[in-house]
Amino acid sequence: MSFLSLIINFVYCIIFKIKIGQCPKHSVIRGICSSYIEKNSKISIGEGLTLRSGARRGIGNESTSKIMVSKDAILNIGKFVGMTNVCLLCQKHIEIGNNVLLGAGVMVMDSNFHDTDWKMRMDGTHGINGAKRASVNISDNVFIGTRSIICKGVTIGARSIIAAGSVVVKDVPEDEIWGGNPAKFIKKINQKT
């Protein structure tokens, strides 16, 4: 590992509050990622992460990558995952498999963040404590197109593709292409054997 790689991994560890021994190997971090990691949260990041962030790192996206992991929440990112200007908002559990690509501006969230009852939202906490939460699971080899939103409780099956600008609110089976708002089945992916 080169000296520059060691420095990048060290900075990465500081940003994500991870012990040096847990830093992923062969990772590329470009730009600044804002993170908010609460106590008692659990984060696991596999080797080969590519995280690009900032105005020059995305497709017309002026934002930076944001990663928020709430108290007692779990964020697992597999090996060789690529992300650009993403927003990962984890209040319960987000699981991202191996070889996953998250296009520019993708949002993944496992919570509604606010109660659906308007009276609860008026209690001074905006109903945050009553928000529904459900785990998100993005399986291996998935590609999620730019500016898509993956909502709470969703599982995306292995090798599936989510078209750009989609809002995924229900499970996507493996080997399928989905798109739209809300995302719907478009076609099966032909597997070459």
Which residues are the active-site residues? Answer: 114
Q: What are the φ and ψ backbone dihedral angles of 22, each rounded to 5 degrees?
A: -100, 0
CA distance 148 to 14: 29
24: alpha, beta or left, given left = phi > 0 and alpha = psi -120 to 50? Answer: beta
Q: Angle CA(59)–CA(63)–CA(65) in degrees, nearest 5?
A: 95
Q: Which helix (H) or strand (E) holds 12?
A: helix 3-16
Q: Give the residue from 28, 36, 31 showing the smallest Cα distance to 4.
A: 28
CA dihedral 79, 167, 89, 125 (to 10 degrees): -170
Burial of 164 from C-beta contacts in 10 A (0-12 / 13-18 / 19+): middle
Tokens matching residue 43: 């984060």
